Structure 1
Amino acid sequence: MKDIWKIFKELVKSWPVMQRIARYNNDQTYRENYLGDFWHFADPLLQIGIMVLMFAIRNGGDKGNPHATGLAGYIAWIALGMVTYFFMQSAMRKSAKSIQSQVNILSRMKFSLSAIPMTEIITELRRYFVMLGIAFFAILFMNVKPSIYWLQFFYYFFAMMVFLYALSLVTSTITVLVPDFYNAYAAILRVGMWISGVIIPVDSPNFPLLLSNALKLNPLYYIIQGFRETLLENPIWFWHNITANLLFWGIVLILLTVGAHIHMRFRNRFMDFV
């Protein structure tokens, strides 16, 4: 807990610098391109559009999905899931390699190394909010009316950010210590969409119960399903599922404890490993 508290204080202290670095990263990514920020959103938009076209038309009337009604409901359901997953996937991938790629530069500044992974996560937020805005428009266009349940969007957003940072502390440190780890981690992220309930509802009646229960342990499923239960049909308050909440925050606490410990133990030697 001592390591966690120290890292929390470093994050608060480094917050203004993290925001400036995130803005700089966004400005520099496509600076040399004529269309600039267009390319920042074109790739995820294209992938989401293709997935929606392929799966929504094929499965729009699938009665095995208890969360979506008809083609319009399925489009909103899959679009919200994919926007959330693409953000998390990109944030997890970049934050895992953040210390390894930036330690040489940032170690010369008065900047806490524990804040580097969070900087990468913040950098991805601009694209996420734009994509989320498009998903919101799709939801409203499909006759899903706003409700008081939408307020718990902020709970799931907070849960997502804490989870991403806790995981990034672990992965960014291991990537420095064991470079081969990143390749395996990136491969897992490429298949993560298929085991996180993004496209196929893992709680469908057609799904084997044992496999369904195992996949629900995935923290990504908790977050994606939470956003869907908040914004789409059949909304429920997050505290109604005590078991899922305990499992998710238990995993986050374990990741945060382990990540803080190994980060504090090895960060003075990061330069030796890079």
Structure 2
Amino acid sequence: MKDIWKIFKELVKSWPVVQRIARYNNDQVYRQNYLGDFWHFADPALQIGVMILMFAVRGGGDKSNPHATGLAGYIAWIALGMVTYFFMQSAMQKSAKSIQSQINMLSRMKFSLSAIPMTEIVTELRRYFVMLGMAFFALLFVNVKPSIYWLQFFYYFFAMIIFLYTLSLVTSTVTVLVPDFYNAYVAVLRVSMWVSGVIIPVDSPSFPVLLSNILKINPLYYIIQGFRETLMERPIWFWHNITANMVFWGIVIILLIIGAHIHMRFRNRFMDFV
């Protein structure tokens, strides 16, 4: 608990600097390009468009998906899932290498190493909100109207950020200690889209029950499904699924304990490993 408390105190104290670094990162990415930020959103928008053509248009009438009605519903379902997934994938990948790539520069500043992974997560938020706006536009085609359930968005957004940060404490530390870990981690992230319910509804009646229950343990599935159950048709309050909540927050707590412990134990030696 001592390590966890220290980590959160450092994060709160470093928050203004985290925001400035994130803003700087966003400004520098495509500074030399004429179209600037357009390229920041073009890649995920193109991938989402391709996935919609490959899966939504082809399977728009597939009744095995209990969460989407017709082609328009299928498009909105996939768009919302992919926007959330692309943000998490990019944040997980960049935050895992954040300490290794930035420690030489930030070690000269009065900046807590535990806050470095958060800078990458916050950097990705601008693109996420723009892409989320596109997903909301897709929801208009499903005639989804705002409701009190939409307040639940803030719960799942908070859960997503906390999960990403606790995971990044583990992965960013292990990447410094064992460089080969990062390559394996990126490979796993490429596969995770297919097992997180982004494209395939893992809770459809035609899906094997045992495999479905195993895949639902995935925190990415919990968050993606949570956003869908909040913003789309037939919304559900998050507290109705007590088991899923306990599993997700149990995983987050375990990651936080492990991440805080190994980060505090090894961070004074990060420069030696790098």
State the TM-score bracket (shorter-chain normalisation). over 0.9
Q: Is the 8 A contact 2:99 2:113 kept in 1?
A: yes
One-letter code of the match for 2:12?
A: V
Deviation at 1:56, TM superposition (A): 0.5
Match in the other structure for 2:4: 4
Match of 2:40 in 1: 40
What is the deviation of 1:142? 2.5
Cα distance, 1:48 vs. partner?
Answer: 0.3
What's the counterpart of residue 70 of structure 2?
A: 70
Moved segments of 4+, more than 6 Å: none
Mapped partners of 2:127, 2:184: distance in 1: 26
Structure 1 equivalent of residue 210 of structure 2? 210
**AA in 2 matched with 1:24:** Y
The letter for the 2-side match of 1:176 is: V
Aligned-pair CA distance for 1:90: 0.1
Partner residue in 1 for 2:111: 111
Assess if the C-alpha contact under 8 Å between 2:176 and 2:273 holds in 1. yes
In 2, Cα distance between equivalents of 1:141 and 1:62: 18
1:199 matched residue in structure 2: 199
- Alignment match, 1:96: 96
2:72–2:141 contact (8 Å) kept in structure 1: no
Match status 1:271 vs 2:267 = no
Aligned residue number for residue 232 of structure 1: 232
Distance in 1, Cα, partners of 2:266 & 2:229: 40
Q: Please state how far the C-alpha of 1:140 moved relative to its aligned partner.
A: 2.1
Per the normalisation by structure 1, the TM-score is: 0.99
1:53: Cα distance to partner?
1.1
Deviation at residue 58 of structure 1 after TM alignment: 1.0
For the pair 1:54 / 2:54, whether they are aligned, the reply is yes
Cα distance in 2, alignment partners of residues 58 and 140 from structure 1:
21
Look up the equivalent residue of 2:80 and give its one-letter code: L
**CA drift at 1:239:** 0.4
* Conserved? CA contact 2:3–2:261, under 8 Å: yes
How far did residue 141 of structure 1 move? 3.3
1:96-115 C-alpha deviation (Å, 9 max, x unpaired): 00000000000110000000
Q: Give the letter for the 2:224 counterpart.
A: I
Q: In the alignment, residue 273 of structure 2 is paired with which amino acid?
A: F
SS at match of 2:34: coil
1:254 corresponds in structure 2 to 254
Residue range with higher mean Cα deviation, 50-59 or 194-203: 50-59
Q: Which residue of 1 aligns with 2:148?
A: 148
**Partners of 1:2 and 1:100 in 2: how far apart?**
25
Q: What runs of 5+ residues in structure 1 fail to find an aligned partner?
A: none
RMSD: 0.5
Whole-Å Cα distance in 1 between the matches of residues 217 and 87 of structure 2? Answer: 20
- Is the Cα–Cα contact under 8 Å of residues 100 and 172 in structure 2 kept in the other structure? yes
Matched letter for residue 253 of structure 1: I
State the partner residue of 1:159: 159
Q: Is 2:131 the partner of 1:131?
A: yes
* Residue ranges of structure 2 left out of the alignment (5+ in a row): none
How far apart are the structure 1 equivalents of 2:11 and 2:35?
Answer: 34
- AA partner of residue 107 (structure 2): S
In 2, the alpha carbon distance for the partners of 1:107 and 1:254 equals 28
Report the 3-state secondary structure (helix = DSSP H, G, I; strand = E; otherwise coil) of the residue aligned with 1:117: helix
Partners of 2:211 and 2:142 in 1: how far apart?
A: 32
Q: 1:185 and 1:59 mapped to 2: Cα distance? A: 31
Equivalent in the alignment of 1:171: 171
Percent identity between the two aligned chains: 87
Shift of 1:150: 0.4
Query: Across the two proteins, how many residue pairs are aligned to each other?
Result: 274
What is the CA–CA distance in structure 1 between the aligned matches of 2:22 and 2:141, rounded to whole Å? 32
